[in-house]
Amino acid sequence: MAIASRKLNRHLALHLNPTTPAIHHRFSPYPAATSSLTTHHQEVKSLTELEKLHPLGQGSGGAVFKVRHKPTRAIYALKKISAAAETQTQEEEVSIHRIASSSPHVVKFQGSFQTPNGDVSILMDYMESGSLSDHAKATYRDARLPEHAIADVARQILQGFSHLHANNIVHRDVKPANFLVNANNNNEVKIADFGVSKRLPTRLARCDSYVGTAAYLSPERFDMAAHGSTYDGFAADVWSLGLVFLELYLGRYPLLEPGQKPDWPALMCAICFGEMPPKIPEEASEEFREFIGCCLEKDPCKRWTVQQLLGHRFIVRRPQEEEEEEEERTRGDS
């Protein structure tokens, strides 16, 4: 459930009505229409060289398609951002993706193109195995990843977010669908979709636009007064990451009961008033429980940073030790 709202200075319990779109100020328009705005890769010179194969999904602010470069037969993903898109200025999404793309843990930006009507398309690497949630369902029983697999996924994602946050970029729409997997390359996981991301002028700048997916919003984004005097976009990203990692362990969204309707009041109550971290099965390791607790700290000032999480013992454990522990735990369950 994507949302974008202005903050209202009212008590949390009264703010249950559907949200209204936030007003985003557009940057100065592009120069006269051109077929190619920027390219990292000289291989693709214009949109006319691309053959659209089929839709891959809907990203923030635009549809994503699988495309083929006709001269080389190379496969890419192409996101089309309408000139009328309200969620993010076209220029900012292109700029952020280009900067983020210097990390090996971000889907590679290959160029951007503009059509005469003002639509902008972003060309990027195609990730063979789809989203992290799709990969989990296709690969693991009940879509539940073992701890050693979660640690590997988390390590890659946190390294990507370390790069984003070091460049003052907050993602603002962290969820399983926005992590893409390439199973043919050692199950590499990469961050995608910068449609509502923002680059702050300084690390301490306020991030006061309310966008994202409601189920993964942090408590302070629902009620800043009760959960911190300011909305720290970096800490909010960490909260969302904690929910993603726990969802990979449980095979379902962790803050609602199976079958419970994920409407706005239910999500708000679970996130703001629910016990944190939520109940985790007894067989989970102490390291994993502690790691999730560091992410799902309601006070954003006490929540761990991405850099701190990269040093957590759950992440730095040797892969062999993790697999041995997982095998022992599995034998104990049988």
pLDDT tens per residue across span 93-105: 999 999 999 999 9
Question: Do residues 92 and 198 share a domain?
Answer: no
321 CB neighbour count, 10 Å cutoff: 10
> Using an 8 Å Cβ cutoff, are 110 and 39 in contact?
yes
Question: Do residues 53 and 167 share a domain?
Answer: no
Is 213 part of any domain?
A: yes
pLDDT of residue 24: 32
> Using an 8 Å Cβ cutoff, are 145 and 249 in contact?
yes
Give dist(CA 296, CA 241) in Å, integer: 9
Q: Where are the alpha helices (DSSP H) in the chain?
A: 90-100, 132-139, 147-166, 219-222, 233-250, 264-273, 286-295, 306-310, 313-316, 319-333
The total number of structural domains that make up the chain? 2
Question: Do residues 92 and 115 share a domain?
Answer: yes
Question: Do residues 114 and 237 share a domain?
Answer: no
- Whether residue 126 is predicted with pLDDT greater than 80 in this model: the reply is yes
Q: Among 125, 159, 190, which residue terminates a domain?
A: 125
Q: How many CA atoms lie within 13 Å of 154's alpha carbon, on the beta-carbon side?
A: 35
Give dist(CA 290, CA 283) in Å, integer: 14
Among 305, 316, 309, 304, which Cα is nearest to 152's? 316
Among 296, 320, 322, 299, which Cα is nearest to 309's? 296
Is 165 part of any domain?
A: yes
pLDDT of residue 277: 87
Give dist(CA 185, CA 204) in Å, integer: 37
Question: Do residues 71 and 147 share a domain?
Answer: no
Is 265 part of any domain?
A: yes
Residue 302 assigned to a binding site: no
Is 183 part of any domain?
A: yes
pLDDT of residue 156: 98
pLDDT of residue 312: 98
Q: Which domain range does residue 113 map to?
A: 29-125
Question: Do residues 92 and 77 share a domain?
Answer: yes
Question: Do residues 110 and 193 share a domain?
Answer: no
Q: Among 125, 158, 174, which residue terminates a domain?
A: 125
Which of 15 and 325 is assigned the larger pLDDT?
325
Is 203 part of any domain?
A: yes
Is 6 part of any domain?
A: no
Q: Among 125, 160, 189, which residue terminates a domain?
A: 125
Question: Do residues 225 and 304 share a domain?
Answer: yes
Question: Do residues 172 and 272 share a domain?
Answer: yes
Question: Do residues 172 and 301 share a domain?
Answer: yes
Question: Do residues 220 and 306 share a domain?
Answer: yes
Question: Do residues 230 and 119 share a domain?
Answer: no
- Annotated catalytic residues are 173
